[in-house]
């Protein structure tokens, strides 16, 4: 059954997805194989999927032709860019080194999870499917987002086992591509606890490169500029302060090193579409 909710696609039949490969490259796709097998290409590399495997296809990765056995069964969850950004903001707070895992997933999109983790993936999928049928509650979208975040955290947890210590070291090693290292170091600086720096030039200075080159690397590797990533993280911090603390607008502006309250309010309106106080009221 295919369900489309906002920027989210769920199905247990891949043939039901009526979206072109080019359009699907804008989604993060999670596939959990439950029976049979699937052979497909991703960025011209061929992969085989069997029961107990998960496939995590990051945005900007092109899915090619696929073949499957008659008994193939899988749950598919595809998350669009807008929904993905909201889910990802909380991952920044919990997993500051998440980009290492993103790099691993780009190189290793297919891996095995435990039976317990398979049960969890199945349960999250079924819960999200149930909540998409609820048309009455005003909290439906937030609950669905929370379920998607919970599934994302489970994937991050499963990756700890899939990567292992040797692979973690390899990802940090100098053999990693120069641009990947720059991106990884940028993400680590960006997600450093207490970081409130909003200037691309400040990050570029720490990385000993030009702001133009930093943005070019980000655009090439993630299809987003350095400013896009900085704003996403800062907006995540603002959301946290406004929705989950009792700090005044003035105190939040001070915590985030804005020059004054007026500048903070303009920034919030630009990126959240509302004044800080209006956004706080909407969250409550």
Of 134, 150, 172, the last residue of a domain is 172
Does residue 191 share a domain with residue 120?
A: no
> pLDDT at position 170, please?
55
Same domain, 98 and 167: yes
Global model pTM greater than 0.75? no
Q: Are residues 199 and 148 in the same domain?
A: no
Looking at the fold, whether 208 and 255 belong to one and the same domain comes out as yes
Q: What digits encode the pLDDT tens for the residues 81-109?
A: 667 666 665 665 566 566 667 777 877 89
Kindly state whether residues 110 and 152 are assigned to the same domain: yes
Mean pLDDT of the chain: 82
| 5-46 pLDDT tens trace | 777 888 988 778 776 666 676 788 889 999 999 998 886 789
Domain count for the chain, please give it. Answer: 2
Look at residue 183 and tell me whether its pLDDT is greater than 70.
yes
Confidence (pLDDT) at 174: 42
My answer on whether 141 and 256 are in the same domain is: no
- On whether both 51 and 7 belong to a single domain, the answer is yes
Q: Tell the residue number behind the tokens 């990756």, with chain if given.
A: 159
For position 87, which CATH number holds? Answer: 2.60.120.280
Per the DSSP assignment, residues forming a β-bridge with 111 are 54
Same domain, 156 and 232: no
b/e sequence 11-50, b meaning 16+ C-beta within 10 Å? bbeeeebeeeeeebbbbbbbbbbeeeebebebeeeeeebe
- Same domain, yes or no: 118 and 153: yes
Using H for helix, E for strand and C for coil, what is the string for 173-209?
CCCCCHHHHHHHHHHHHHCCCCCCCCCHHHHHHHHCC
184 shares a domain with 168: no
Range of the domain at 85: 3-172
User: Domain boundary residue among 172, 207, 223?
Assistant: 172
| pLDDT tens digits along 103-124 | 778 778 998 888 998 899 889 9
Average pLDDT over residues 142-161: 81
pLDDT of residue 91: 62
Q: How far apart are CA 84 and CA 26, in angstroms?
A: 10
Task: Please check whether residues 51 and 108 belong to one and the same domain.
Answer: yes
203 and 250 fall within a common domain: yes
């Amino acid at each position: 059954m295919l369900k489309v909710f906002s920027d989210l696609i769920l199905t247990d039949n891949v043939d039901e997805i009526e979206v072109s490969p080019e359009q699907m490259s804008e989604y993060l796709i999670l596939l959990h194989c439950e029976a049979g097998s699937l052979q497909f290409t991703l960025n011209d590399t061929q992969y085989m999927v069997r029961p107990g495997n998960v496939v995590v296809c990051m945005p900007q990765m092109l899915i090619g032709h696929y073949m499957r056995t008659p008994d193939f069964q899988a749950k598919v969850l595809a998350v669009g860019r807008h929904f993905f950004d909201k889910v990802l903001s909380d991952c920044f707070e919990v997993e500051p080194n998440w980009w290492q895992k993103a790099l691993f997933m780009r190189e290793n999109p297919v891996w095995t999870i435990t039976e317990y983790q398979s049960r969890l993936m199945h349960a999250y999928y079924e819960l999200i499917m149930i909540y998409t049928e609820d048309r009455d509650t005003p909290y439906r979208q937030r609950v669905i987002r929370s379920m998607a975040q919970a599934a994302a955290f489970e994937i991050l947890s499963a990756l700890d086992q899939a990567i292992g210590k040797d692979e973690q070291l390899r990802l940090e090693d100098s053999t990693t591509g120069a641009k990947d290292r720059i991106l990884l170091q940028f993400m680590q600086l960006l997600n450093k606890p207490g970081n409130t720096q909003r200037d691309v030039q400040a990050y570029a200075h720490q990385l000993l490169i030009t702001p133009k080159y930093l943005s070019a690397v980000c655009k090439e590797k993630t299809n987003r500029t350095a400013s896009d990533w900085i704003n996403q993280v800062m907006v995540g911090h603002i959301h946290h302060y406004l929705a989950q603390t009792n700090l005044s607008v003035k105190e939040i502006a001070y915590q985030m090193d804005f020059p004054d309250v007026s500048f903070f309010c303009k920034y919030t309106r630009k990126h959240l579409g509302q004044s800080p106080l209006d956004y706080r009221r909407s969250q409550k």
